[in-house]
Amino acid sequence: MSLLLKNVLVLDANSPSHNKKANILIEKGIISSLNAKSGSKELDFSNLTITPGWFDLNSNFNDPGNEHKEDVESGSHAASAGGFTDVCIIPDTSPPIESKADVNYLKRKAIDAVDLHVIASVSEGNKGENLTEILDLYHAGASAFSSGDQPIWNSELLMKALQYTESIGTPILQNSRDINISANSHMHEGLVSTGLGLRAEPSISEELSIQRDIEILRYTGGSIHFSKISSGKSVKMIREAKKQGLHVTCDVGIFNLIFTDNSIGVFDTNFKNLPPYRTEQDRKALIKGVIDGTIDAICSNHRPQDSESKQLEFDLADPGSIALQTFYSSLLKIKDQVPFELLIEKVVNGPRKVLNIDPISIDKGQNAKLTILDPTKKWIFNSVTNQSKSRNSPFWEKELEGYVHGTINKGKLVIH
């Protein structure tokens, strides 16, 4: 059976139909035409926009170990509802993702709507002391290696990991943070933290870690990806490392492009994040990094937390927010600061480039991996619309603009 998507606006700079209305015919999961006249099943998408399928570099589905917060199925449904056809899941689980059996467990639980890319732990028990069996994990299907939300603090282990992964072409994903400086901190250190009386993390915690890792990379070779950068100086250092020809990439969490330390207000724990939201100056530097290409991708930094972890005093609450399902609405909040076409590139082929995955586009002969958007529809993010098991969102019970109408992956259309 063929599927015809009629009168849909294509947003894909790599497509011959970019910024044009197209009639996209899909047969056996492949785009066979952009100007077809008929299909077995026809849908009129006159008011909708279509892009290549979105790819998230950084989500935690808490599976195994904390499935009451999220599991592979609920996380995947939230991702699909957010426009994502591909998601990287980090190894911060209980136990961590550190064996071939762990990788296979997650692959088996994947649903058709979303392709899962497993980020395996770079160290045994995610403790930063001994390397995991990197080559075995790679051949089992691991896409990259990381310590998830924990920094790779052990310099020797990072050196060995970079040397091992250079031969297989996978990056080391680093969450840059000096654990001694950032210990027991709850937000960015500055005027706001002083006024609130909260122990805080200065941006130098991130910047020192990045500086160290760039020098290690210069010595060892390999490829390093800095996950969820938050500081303006971090952007500057990574920009310079790229100019020097080092194999460095980075991403930023979507909320760090929107919020600052001022957003916390009266101790709203939904704004407690890792990394913390920093100053407006940092936020603007991150925006500039997206525009000039220093920042390769924008990730969700999706971190589900149950009410027992969030409905607490600010200094006792766990950090993180769910962000997959509201991602499109979040992107629209910064479209006046960054061309929307570029924002789409940062969630389509930017992430794929980081992981050395072939780029995709809306063109004849390409796999039909697609995200379908309704740019004007308004909706409320609440217990009725939410697909996640958790509700820790700064947008909870708020009206949002921009709705993901559906996705297509593996020949299957999912309408939300």
Q: What is the per-residue pLDDT for 103? A: 96
Strand pairing class (54-59; 84-89): parallel
Tokens of 69: 């917060």
Query: What torsion, rounded to 10 degrees, do the Cα atoms 361, 362, 368, 369 define?
Result: 50
Q: What is the per-residue pLDDT for 201? A: 97
Which residue, chain included where needed, has tokens 């970019």? 18
Q: Which helix (H) or strand (E) holds 42?
A: strand 41-44
Q: What is the per-residue pLDDT for 264? A: 94
Question: What is the total residue count of the chain?
Answer: 416
Q: Is the dihedral angle over the CA atoms 70, 72, 73, 76 positive or is it negative? A: positive
Query: What torsion, rounded to 10 degrees, do the Cα atoms 177, 183, 184, 189 define?
Result: -60
Tokens of 306: 């149950």
Ranges under pLDDT 50 in the chain: none
CA distance 347 to 404: 14
Which residue, chain included where needed, has tokens 């310099």? 155
Whether the model clears a pTM of 0.95, i.e. scores above it, the answer is yes
Q: Where are the alpha helices (DSSP H) in 23-146?
A: 72-81, 100-109, 134-140
The 10s digit of each residue's pLDDT in 349-366 is 999 999 999 999 999 999
CA distance 120 to 137: 7
Contacts of 32 (CB under 8 A, 6+ apart): 2, 25, 26, 364, 365
Helix and strand element counts for the chain (H, E): 12, 16
Q: Are 91 and 119 in contact (CB under 8 A)?
A: yes
Q: What is the per-residue pLDDT for 411? A: 87
3-state secondary structure of 361: coil
Per-residue burial over 123-152, b if 16 or more Cβ lie within 10 Å, else e, is beebebeebbebeebbebebbbbbbbbbbb
Q: Which of 2, 4, 10, 45 is nearest to 348 (CA)?
A: 10
CA distance 210 to 113: 35
Q: What is the per-residue pLDDT for 372? A: 98
3-state secondary structure of 382: coil
Residue 113 exposed, middle or buried by CB count within 10 Å (0-12, 13-18, 19+):
buried
Tokens of 341: 């076409």
Q: What is the per-residue pLDDT for 361? A: 98
Q: What is the per-residue pLDDT for 254? A: 98
Strand pairing class (172-174; 224-226): parallel
Per-residue burial over 201-231, b if 16 or more Cβ lie within 10 Å, else e, is bbbebbbbbbbebbebbeebebbbbbbbbbb
Q: Is the dihedral angle over the CA atoms 42, 48, 49, 52 positive or is it negative? A: negative
Tokens of 247: 């194999």
Which residue, chain included where needed, has tokens 């899909």? 26
3-state secondary structure of 207: helix
Q: Are 332 and 375 in contact (CB under 8 A)?
A: yes
Tokens of 181: 């400086």
Q: What is the per-residue pLDDT for 266? A: 85
